[in-house]
Amino acid sequence: MDIIKSTNKKIILGMVIIAISALMLGSVIGFFVTREVLKTQVLNQMIKEGYVDTNLATATSEDIIYGKSAYVKGELVNGSAILFDTSDATATSDVILQGKTAYVDGQLVIGTLPIISGQTINPSASATTITAAAFLKEDIIIKGDSNLISSNIRKGVKIFNIIGSYEGENNNED
């Protein structure tokens, strides 16, 4: 509060000096000369006391945190930027989808979790592996066959966990 009173007194004193100078030097010339001298002195004093000229400030409300304010070009600007505290986030790149980004503890993390598109798998003689630790984007279909039943598989033979029961005819001719 003392700074404000001190600055106000100096501004009033400057106005008095302008008035007296105008009378002594002639109203127009005295006014302009004194005004320029005082403008510089008052501005320097205000900066010295912690006041700042905001005419060069370029911040917008989006640049200032919500709930805070600042003076820009002499006008009070209320902040609208919403910041999030990510210090307790625990995600790692391998659990964020590939190509997606997130902030974890204030740092940008780029996802590496592979994305698997849908596919159809036909049973075959070799195994088909679906990669673990991946995001399944679409359904995976594993084909079935209505003929894959125990009565169609020779007795004692196991195909896809189905044990055959077909004994059939013996075509061996002696």
Tell me the per-residue pLDDT of 96-142, one tens digit each, with 9 for 90 and over: 999 999 999 889 999 999 999 888 998 888 888 888 888 988 999 99
Return the biggest CA–CA distance within the chain. 144
Proportion of the chain above pLDDT 70, given as a percent: 82
CB atoms within 10 A of CB 134: 13
pLDDT at 150: 94
* 163 — pLDDT class (breaks 50, 70, 90): very high
Distance set, CA 106 to CA 89, 91, 130 (Å): 9, 12, 34
Lowest-confidence pick of 8-12, 60-64, 70-74, 105-109: 8-12
Predicted confidence (pLDDT) per residue in 139-157, tens digit: 999 999 999 999 999 999 9
Average model confidence (pLDDT) across the chain? 82
pLDDT at 48: 72
